Structure 1
Amino acid sequence: MALTVAAPGQTMAQKAGAKPAATARPAPKPLFSDPVYDGAADPVIVWNKQAKKWWMFYTNRRATDTTATGVTWVHGTRIGIAESGDGGTTWTYRDTANINYRPDRGYTHWAPDIVEDRGRYHMFLTYVPGTFTDWQHPRVIVQLTSTDLQNWQYVQTLPLVTDKVIDASVFKLPDGTWRLWYNNERDHKSIYYADSPDLLHWTDHGQALNERGEGPKVFRWHEQYWMIIDQWKGMAVYHSTDLLHWTAQPERILEQPGQGRDDQAIGGHCDVVVSNGRAFVFYFTHPGRSKARPAPANSIAAKRSVVQVAELEFNNGRLTCDRDKPTFVQLVPPRGK
């Protein structure tokens, strides 16, 4: 989910993205590690208006499960929740989401995206009907709703073009309608999209981007729209003025390894939060998959994943990201929330 937020009562300098106060602390590296399975991935950041805290939802891969065979360690997962009471600088584990949709034994929950509309939260979740040793099984995107972000009720399975889709990203269009982008795994893992007038009735319009990648994230910043997708070799960046026609940026971001703890591998499947004129990219890494010192295949070290954060910069019409710069995260609640 891409949020654009601003705080009331701030000065013009603050609204323009002034430098953080001298007492601010940079975000740690890693930003967050899951204490249960050490497999946090695919983060999405949401303001919890009841708790007055930021919540992070993430795929909770079972990296430390030594009994897992094949790719079962990325199946059989529940969605984890972490929370931050200091504007996104530090995060603590809270729980797993109580998702009332688990009709199959060994059910799998992946890669949620969450939006709020008229006092209700909507989650768009990848659902896999079991725990499998390989990738050759169907998966769908289901819609759930909640009033508290903790307890979720099933609404529907989205009527998308195939039975093998993942990674929803939902964005409210200027006319008040909604658009959902997702990865169609049966079409060379390209990006497709569907529209809805009301977050309930959806019409699939087919391919949005003829590029191989997953985890699309769409947001508005610097008077245009951006889409970032995970290409497993860094994050590809596209921009658009109409949310239909996308132009590729030549350079990927989060491709080159960083120097911070657990940040020497490529960045993957991100969320972007735009706050006070600044944009923060929350991504995950597999620390044990660095090119310089790769861990043995199928080891816990190779499987574990953590969430990191960096600040995006806009230079000469392009997005850049220096993951080694100290990141002073200062997320403020959305207006009126």
Structure 2
Amino acid sequence: MSAPIFRDPVDDGAADPVVVRRQGTNEWWMFYTNRRPSAEGPKFTWIHGSPIGLAMSVDGGASWHYRGTVEGLDAPGDAPGGNTHWAPEVIYAEGQYHMFLSYITGVPDDWRGITRTITHFTSADMARWERIGPIRLSSQRVIDACVYRCPDGLWRMWYKDESAGSSTWSASSKDLFEWQVEGRVLAGSPYGDPHEGPNVFELGGYYWLIVDEWHGQGVHRSDDARLWKRQGLIGNEPGEDEADRRFVRHADVVAFKDYAVLFYFTHPEWDERSQAAGPPDVAARRTAVHQGRLTVVDGVLVFERDIPAGLGLLA
């Protein structure tokens, strides 16, 4: 139960998954941050220099097959293959696919003082991407975009602003190309819990915003996708499978009529409760992608973690 559904066969560092259906087919594509657990270098070199990995399923998510890494995402003037790609958000909208990628020039060994941008790409087929450019947001240290069309008719982007205490901010757009910063949505340090990886979806008559608090996913509920009320925490208790005993990290949600699928990653070999400073070795850095099921019961988001790996939940 709750065994991994996918591990990157090259670097074994799959993280921050996002799952999207290729229009007109039964193909589900998983894009993910392809961390490098074995990379040499000081401090956090191994987290940087990551390309975006790609896996595919044609059986509703029952099995996933590695398809390599996504090319053509480096900025003009930056050395190809020598940059950092994090946490892609991929959606289909307005007749094409859109990717909102967290981008860092080069391979830093630390994260302090390093510029991060959210960069927009478009594609007709999800295989070849055209760079539109970085989006001007609330600071020069923004990552982890989530984009969703809200009931007011606007597209809204939620993201992490590391310059504002690792809080969640939002920006809105009429067309996905021109964005206006709206302000802070969820407080970070020192006024609240720092967090990252916002994800918004609709299920059971409500809108839901989850964020990675590094000890599970903080859950927030809304009637309009604008004003949010905290509900609690999910993914803080271990799953049954030996490889799913750790905290649920940076998740994506694919929602259907009566349930949703939560895709998340864990560090199966990191004793994160006693080694809070970070993974101490290569084994602890390795990651696995899992799936869970979400339902709404009496207005409460319920997380079912122990889902067999070979069960396809994608309709």
Q: Secondary structure at the match of 2:170?
A: strand
1:72 corresponds in structure 2 to: 45
- Are the equivalent residues in 2 in contact too, given 1:257–1:290 (CA < 8 A)? no
Q: Which of 54, 65, 68 lines up with 1:95 in the alignment?
A: 68
Q: Go from structure 1 to structure 2 and tell me whether the alpha carbon gap of 1:68 and 1:36 turns closer, same or farther (over 3 Å shift).
A: farther
TM-score scaled by length of structure 2 = 0.91
Q: Aligned partners of 1:322 and 1:68: how far apart in 2?
A: 38
* Matched AA of 2:180: T
Secondary structure at the aligned position of 1:289 is classed as: coil
Give the match for residue 292 of structure 2.
310
Task: Find 2:13's aligned residue among 34, 39, 45.
Answer: 39
1:258 matched to 2:239? yes
- The alignment's C-alpha RMSD in Å is 2.0
Runs of 5+ consecutive residues of structure 1 not aligned to the other structure: 1-25, 333-337
Give identity over the alignment, percent. 41
Structure 1 residue 242 and structure 2 residue 242: aligned?
A: no
Aligned 8 A contact 1:288 1:294 in 2 = no
- TM-score calculated relative to the size of structure 1: 0.85
CA distances 1:104-159 after superposition (whole Å, capped 9, x unpaired) = 24211000101112321010000011101111111010000111111111102101
Select the residue among 256, 271, 293 that pairs with 1:275.
256
Label 1:223 to 1:292 Cα distance change in 2 as closer, same or farther (>3 A). Answer: closer
For residues 92-241 of structure 1, the aligned pairs below 5 Å read: 92-102=65-75, 103-105=77-79, 106-136=82-112, 137-211=114-188, 212-241=194-223
Letter in 1 for 2:313: Q
Find the aligned partners of 1:216 and 1:84 in 2 and give their Cα distance.
Answer: 24
CA contact (8 A) 1:169 1:217 kept: yes
Deviation at 1:31, TM superposition (A): 0.8
- CA–CA distance in structure 2, aligned partners of residues 185 and 100 of structure 1: 23
* 297 and 154 in structure 1: CA distance in 2 versus 1, 3 angstrom threshold: closer
Q: What's the secondary structure of 1:151's corresponding residue?
A: coil
TM-superposed CA distance for 1:51, in Å, is: 5.3
What is the count of residue pairs matched by the alignment?
304
* Superposed CA offset, 1:23-70 (max 9, x none): xxx8x61110001110000000010126530000000000133x2321
Say if 1:291 and 1:186 are closer, same or farther in 2 by CA, change over 3 A: closer
Q: 1:291 to 1:188 in 2, by over 3 A?
A: closer
Residues 83, 93 of structure 1: 8 Å contact kept: yes
Q: Which amino acid aligns with 1:300?
A: V
Partners of 1:162 and 1:294 lie apart in 2 by: 31
The answer as to whether partners of 2:13 and 2:37 remain within 8 angstroms in 1 is yes
In structure 2, relative to structure 1, the CA distance for the partners of 1:193 and 1:297 (3 Å cut) is closer
Q: Unaligned regions of 5+ residues in structure 2, if any?
A: 189-193
In structure 2, do the counterparts of structure 1 residues 135 and 249 end up closer, same or farther at CA, with 3 Å as the change threshold?
A: same
Alignment of 1:51-70 (within 5 A): 52-65=26-39, 67-70=40-43
Q: Shift in Å at residue 322 of structure 1?
A: 3.0
